[in-house]
Amino acid sequence: MTTVRKLNISYRLFAGIGAVALMIISMVGKANAQTADDAYRLSWQTPVGTARSAAMGQAGVALGGDMGFVFSNPAASAIYRYNEVTFSPLLSMNSTDMTYLGNKTSDSKTTFAISNFGAVGSFKTGMTNGIKNWSLAIAYNRLNDFNSSMYATGRTAQSSYLASMAAELQGVNGKDLDITDSYDPFGNQSWKSVLAWNASLLDTLPDTHGREYKGATENLNGYDITMGGELDQRYTSVSKGNVSEASLNIGGNINDIFYVGATIGIQSIYYRKDENYSEFALRSSDFQTGFNSFTHRYSLKTTGTGINVRVGAIFTPVHFIRLGASISTPTWMYLHDEWEERIASDFSATQTSQAYYANLVSPLGKYDYILRTPFRWNIGGAFVFGQRGTLSIDYERTDYSTMKLKDPDYKLEFNKENAAIKDKYKASDNVRIGAEVIATPSLAIRAGFRYYTAGLKENNYETYIGSAGLGYSSKGGFFADLTYIRQLKDGKDDYRFYNSAGGREAPVANASWYNSRLVLTLGLRF
């Protein structure tokens, strides 16, 4: 029988080799953080806009005349015949239900943010033919929200994260995991494996020349490896951040029939995710190693900026029909990732080892890279029933298989990651429908519906979003709109917190998430 090695490595050891670690990380960092899923997360957009555009399901490619619609079609600003300033605060409510090992848990997160603010000026040219007026607009839009919280817990004696790590290390020499003054394993091996090894959570098997492993939650009986006992497994994940865009727009009205516009958008990206996974022994005596608990923490922060260009047009063949189309170039995002991992272990004394505790941290990983998001195409049509109301419908197509990761210095290739993008993702088809009824000169009633398909080739889930709102306008130019947005179909997904290994199937966590939003717009026309 082998015993777990008794090590207690301090943070100072990591600091002493930090300079070497960072040099190595700069060469291999992309393998630790930048993935096809990261590209998809940063490319996805679900803008709220103003309360009016949100209430009408963002169906405004052909409609125009609202700061929320300017985002989907730059020609929307050319519809304006007046100046306008808007401000739109947003309350977002996210909740997640998880079922893991028969145990159901719930978590929620409520955030306050600014959905949109902007200003547009309309200027007459004095011409009776040609460009009769032109517009200039500046705006801020929140394009995507990363705020979420998940929690799962359950008990099992059938599998363990440490057993999975042990299986994944088969063939690796244990000496290649040791941290010394002259050797840093983080450049060549998985960070979590290095930390687990040096925290005494992994051990080599006898007669394997140090190339086969077992986890601290496993017992060795002769040549048989079995789970030691029952474990309480817990997982938490907290995400925050957003993708937002500041834009400069110009539009032109040609003979009150043809409207054109162009926008330059500067995006700002902030994303932070903290994951914790823990295993606790219900009875330490069940484990030959004296195992009490371990915790693995992973943190990732992504920041950056991006730039894109959008152009669009609106055509009114007759006064009650509007047709619109727009295209958005890919956003070139210049991104910076920082990540680190931590592992803590706790053991009780056994007949062959003393009680001890370890708390280890990896070096800080850093990497700069470029993400090119997909082209976005929008077409739409709208019926304008004079002063009585409008009906609008849009179609959007975004091909996520065209996303691409790049190294800014061309020193590294993302061949594996970009191949995964093409294999995993496809085009997404989105439909938006919105209606507005002018009940009185000062009161409008609005409703909308959005249908999104995820850009995934497998497990392609669909999202249905409903919205409804009211709008008030005064004779003095002040207006106020209020809208409630609800995800109509629960989002669902399955998670494995670790890989299946050693003939033991890792448990599956079933997740369902819900989202509701409340947006208020205050504005002034003059």
At 483-526, the pLDDT tens digits run 999 998 777 889 999 999 877 899 999 999 889 999 999 999 99
What's the average model confidence in pLDDT over 291-300?
A: 98
Q: Tens digits of per-residue pLDDT, 37-46?
A: 999 999 999 9
In the block, tokens 């100072």 appear at 12
Strands 218-221, 224-227: pairing is antiparallel
**pTM as predicted:** 0.89
| pLDDT band for position 8 (cuts 50, 70, 90) | very low
Is the pLDDT score of 1 beyond 60?
no
> Could you give the 3-state DSSP secondary structure of residue 42?
helix
Our CA angle for 498, 513, 295, nearest 5°, is 30
Q: What is the pLDDT of residue 31?
A: 41
What's the average model confidence in pLDDT over 296-302?
A: 97
Kindly list the structural domains of the chain, giving each domain's residue range(s) and its CATH number in brackets, ordered by start. 11-525 (2.40.160.60)
Report the run of H or E that residue 514 belongs to, with start and end: strand 509-525
Q: What is the pLDDT of residue 15?
A: 33
Q: What is the pLDDT of residue 33?
A: 58
Q: What is the mean pLDDT of the chain?
A: 91
> Could you give the 3-state DSSP secondary structure of residue 160?
coil
- Separation CA 42–CA 45 (nearest Å): 8
Q: Tens digits of per-residue pLDDT, 251-268?
A: 999 999 999 999 999 999
Count of Cβ atoms closer than 10 Å to residue 34 Cβ: 21
**Cα–Cα distances in angstroms (integers) from residue 452 to residues 245, 395, 487, in the given order:** 21, 10, 11
Is the pLDDT score of 358 beyond 60?
yes
Report how far Cα 325 is from the mean position of its chain's Cα atoms: 28
Q: What is the pLDDT of residue 448?
A: 98
Phi, psi dihedral angles at 262 (to 5 degrees): -145, 145
Q: Is 434 exposed, middle or buried (0-12, 13-18, 19+ CB in 10 A)?
A: buried
Q: What is the pLDDT of residue 411?
A: 67
> Could you give the 3-state DSSP secondary structure of residue 192?
helix
CA atoms within 13 A on the CB side of 167: 18
Q: Tens digits of per-residue pLDDT, 221-250?
A: 988 999 999 999 999 999 999 999 999 999
**In this prediction, what percent of the chain has a pLDDT beyond 70?**
93
Q: What is the pLDDT of residue 484?
A: 98
- Separation CA 156–CA 227 (nearest Å): 10
Is the pLDDT score of 447 beyond 80?
yes
| pLDDT band for position 30 (cuts 50, 70, 90) | very low
Q: Tens digits of per-residue pLDDT, 373-424?
A: 999 999 999 999 988 999 999 999 999 999 999 998 876 789 999 999 999 9
Is the pLDDT score of 98 beyond 90?
yes
| pLDDT band for position 186 (cuts 50, 70, 90) | confident
Torsion of CA 343, 347, 353, 359, to 10 degrees: 30
Is the pLDDT score of 432 beyond 60?
yes
**In this prediction, what percent of the chain has a pLDDT beyond 90?**
82
In the block, tokens 């608990």 appear at 293
Q: Which residues of 67-76 are buried (b: 16+ CB within 10 A; e: fewer)?
A: bbbbbbbbbb
| pLDDT band for position 110 (cuts 50, 70, 90) | very high
Q: Tens digits of per-residue pLDDT, 131-141?
A: 999 999 999 99
